[in-house]
Amino acid sequence: MYSSNAAGAVIIDVVHSSLGKYVDRDIGFVEFSSLVLWALEELGKVESEPTDSTSDFLSTLKQHHQIAETKIAWLAKLFLWEPFFPVRTHDTLFHAMLLFSKHHRLNVAPVVESMNSSVIGFVTQDAVMELLLQSSGLEWLDKIADKQLSEFRFANVRKPVLVYSDQTLADGLHILSKEKTGVAVIDRKTSRLIGSLQCSDLYLFLDDSTLFSKRTTTTLEELISLNNKTDRKCSTAENSCAPGRNILALRSRQSGMVGLPATNLESDTLKQAMEKLTTLRSSCSFIVDEHGRVQGVVTTRDIISVFSPLCMDSRIDGATFFSAALEQAGCRVENGQMFQN
């Protein structure tokens, strides 16, 4: 995945030719970040002394065969597989939104052909929000998206995951492996947000071997400062740091965005949060007060859930949005089922 600049890969099963017509070979999805975090946790258990300063992540893995040679099938027992819920080219945006809002471990929905079920692309949560934002200015979207974040329940329900800037990178990665959502890096004295650590940034461990070898001594503040220096150099290059067009690219964020947290005030609108998340290619935005202290967090899944169909009993009320969309589409909902007028 690293050499192919892929943030994830479909897991396929070897299907007997006589059963090929009846059994799907695609059985799961595995993310690059999940494998890296799991490997780092396992290395922490077996390494008796600090990693050699010249060792990189992959070469160190090769020294521990019990980790490097772990079969993908065995990782299913550790719940490292993501569910495989494909969408077809004729499915609607609402269908993809429903999948993301109802399956809390689903981050990517593969797009398959109708004839042979071959994977031809992927739909991400970020792509769904970009499509929603294309309807900005239309009443059915703005009626919900122009509300302040404080009006939605998720502003107070989800507790942010915090780590202090003077803690080590290894500490932050350990917390990230448990929580999976973005980790807010705050200053211990002022409690102000200074950066973040996200799964989408883990490719840096393979790009820069020193980050891996010095992870137990490098502080998160040093990591953020290092990235800021790199970002300034990157901004002077001619598109050399621009992200690729592949929405499932491993390096989907510009270098200038690594460590840069997405933030919003409670007085900001839902649409402003959506725009911030898509611009920064971030999976979450931290809700801060006027002093920069973290009060909460909102994820892309939280936002997609706002626009989930009414008939599916959305965790967060999206009735106004979906009712208006149904009316314009000439449909109605009765007893939990959708009908065309």
Q: Which domains does the chain have, with CATH numbers?
A: 8-306 (3.10.580.10)
Q: Assign 196 a pLDDT band (cuts: 50, 70, 90).
A: very high
List the structure tokens of 209. 């071997």
Contacts of 172 (CB under 8 A, 6+ apart): 163, 183, 185, 197, 220
The 3-state secondary structure of 248-295, one letter per residue = CECCCCCHHHCCCCEEECCCCEHHHHHHHHHHHCCCEEEEECCCCEEE
Q: Which long-range contacts (CB under 8 A, 24 or more apart) does 69-73 make?
A: 72/11, 72/30
Q: Look at residue 302 and give its three-state secondary structure.
A: helix
Q: Look at residue 133 and give its three-state secondary structure.
A: helix
Predicted confidence (pLDDT) per residue in 257-271, tens digit = 557 799 999 999 999
What pLDDT is recorded for position 243? 41
| Whole-angstrom distance, CA of residue 82 vs CA of residue 29 | 5
Q: Which of 103-117, 220-234, 237-251, 308-322 has the lowest mean pLDDT?
A: 308-322
pLDDT reading at 38 higher than 90: yes
pLDDT reading at 115 higher than 80: no
What average pLDDT does the segment 228-235 reach? 51
What pLDDT is recorded for position 15? 61
| Whole-angstrom distance, CA of residue 280 vs CA of residue 36 | 22
What pLDDT is recorded for position 205? 85
Higher pLDDT, 140 or 169: 169
Predicted confidence (pLDDT) per residue in 121-165, tens digit = 899 999 999 999 998 988 888 999 999 999 987 755 668 999 999
Q: How long, in residues, is the chain?
A: 341
pLDDT reading at 185 higher than 80: yes
**Bridge partners (DSSP) listed for residue 119:** 112
Q: How far is CA 306 from CA 105, 144, 145, 290, 322, in A?
A: 17, 8, 9, 26, 10
Kindly report the average pLDDT of the chain as a whole number. Answer: 80
Predicted confidence (pLDDT) per residue in 47-74, tens digit = 765 556 668 899 999 999 999 999 888 8
What pLDDT is recorded for position 315? 38
What average pLDDT does the segment 27-32 reach? 86
Does the predicted model carry a pTM greater than 0.85?
A: no
